[in-house]
Amino acid sequence: MTHPDTDLPPHNGWHLPHVVRALRESREVTHRVRHQGRLRELPSREVLTHIMQGLSAALFPTHYGRPDLNDESIDFFVGHTLHDTLGMLNDQVRRALMFNATADASEDADLAPRAAATVRALAEQLPDIRGALFSDLQAAWQGDPAATGMSEILLCYPGITAIVHHRIAHALLRLGTPLLARLIADIAHARTGIDIHPGAQIGRGFFIDHGTGVVIGETCVIGENVRLYQAVTLGAKRFPADENGHLLKGQPRHPIVEDDVVIYAGATVLGRITIGRGSTIGGNVWLTQSVPQHSNVSQALSRQS
């Protein structure tokens, strides 16, 4: 209750009542229809950060949970962590369901069982998610000569943090909670500089090295054993709009990357194009057309003076 680092305000204060009233007026102008007759509690970024720590700990208990687990304690830890985490997630899912585009107040009574079913479905998928993540770890080990061991990869590679968040965010998106999925994606983005839209479909054995500045768009489809480096963009070329100029949402507009492709740092790949299986895209390349299997695309040279 005490706030020790606040100075006493000067005697005549900050004109608080005036500022509060002006801010209220600003709110009333801008979102007059906010409530729509019901109070909707937003999901919490802070709680979702805890949830992601909990799910990561359940998936890789000694690396993301506690380092002191042994054979007799590890299942107790996993079970308790899941109980704790899934309970928090249940509450966040319930909140998020209210923000779905199609939600209206008549469905509110239905939210609790839908939230529980969503959480149960995610829990059911966790072992498969762990399997996919293990393939990603193996890809990192095989792809980076600087890696000295699995523990280093789990603890120090932002690309692993990004894919752990993405695989869970993608599952939540498919289970019908896009707002939670986006929050989880941005939590990973803020921590790693890697921005993967939760809608992107990504196959097993995926590895991003260094990672800062990578952007992977909503409708990307990425095959197995694909490797990206920092600052790669898999983006949209232009945004289809309807006859009124409003953007059409959800249209396929990002690249398809087939199996066994490597894309080097700074490459920009735009539009619903396909990079054929086994291709290599060089650093800083700007690519807006499909390339066949086993292509090798590189940038024009720089000029030296």
Applying the rule CB under 8 A, the residues between 61 and 100 that interact with its own copies are: 61-84, 86-88, 90-91, 94-95, 99
Q: Find tokens 């209206």 and name the residue.
A: 104
Q: Is 33 in the site for its own copies (CB under 8 A)?
A: no
- Contact pick of 118, 136, 157, 172 for its own copies (by CB under 8 A): 157
CA distance 25 to 18: 11
From the CB of 64, what's the least distance to its own copies, in Å?
7
Q: Is 36 in the site for its own copies (CB under 8 A)?
A: no
CA distance 30 to 187: 28
CB under 8 Å to 200, separation ≥6 — which residues?
166, 170, 216, 217, 218, 219, 220, 221, 222, 234, 254
CA distance 61 to 75: 9
CA distance 53 to 65: 8
Q: Report the residue number, 215 or 226, with the smaller CB distance to its own copies.
A: 215
From the CB of 223, what's the least distance to its own copies, in Å?
20
CB under 8 Å to 155, separation ≥6 — which residues?
63
Q: Is 59 in the site for its own copies (CB under 8 A)?
A: yes
From the CB of 8, what's the least distance to its own copies, in Å?
5
- Contact pick of 7, 106, 243, 244 for its own copies (by CB under 8 A): 7
Q: Is 259 in the site for its own copies (CB under 8 A)?
A: no
Q: 158: helix, coil or strand?
A: helix
- Element at 263 (helix H, strand E): strand 262-263
- Contact pick of 105, 190, 201, 294 for its own copies (by CB under 8 A): 190
What tokens were used for 33?
């229809």
- Contact pick of 193, 203, 252, 276 for its own copies (by CB under 8 A): 193
Footprint on residues 215-234 left by its own copies (CB under 8 A): 215, 217-218, 229-231, 233
Q: Report the residue number, 195 or 256, with the smaller CB distance to its own copies.
A: 195
- Contact pick of 105, 107, 110, 113 for its own copies (by CB under 8 A): 113
Q: Is 294 in the site for its own copies (CB under 8 A)?
A: no
What backbone torsions phi and psi does residue 84 show, to the nearest 5 degrees? -65, -50
Q: Is 31 in the site for its own copies (CB under 8 A)?
A: yes
CA distance 96 to 83: 20
Q: Report the residue number, 196 or 256, with the smaller CB distance to its own copies.
A: 196
Q: Is 201 in the site for its own copies (CB under 8 A)?
A: no
- Contact pick of 36, 105, 110, 148 for its own copies (by CB under 8 A): 148
Name residue 234's amino acid.
Answer: L
What tokens were used for 39?
């109070």
Q: Is 243 in the site for its own copies (CB under 8 A)?
A: no
- Contact pick of 140, 171, 179, 257 for its own copies (by CB under 8 A): 179
Cβ atoms of residues 193 and 162 within 8 Å? no
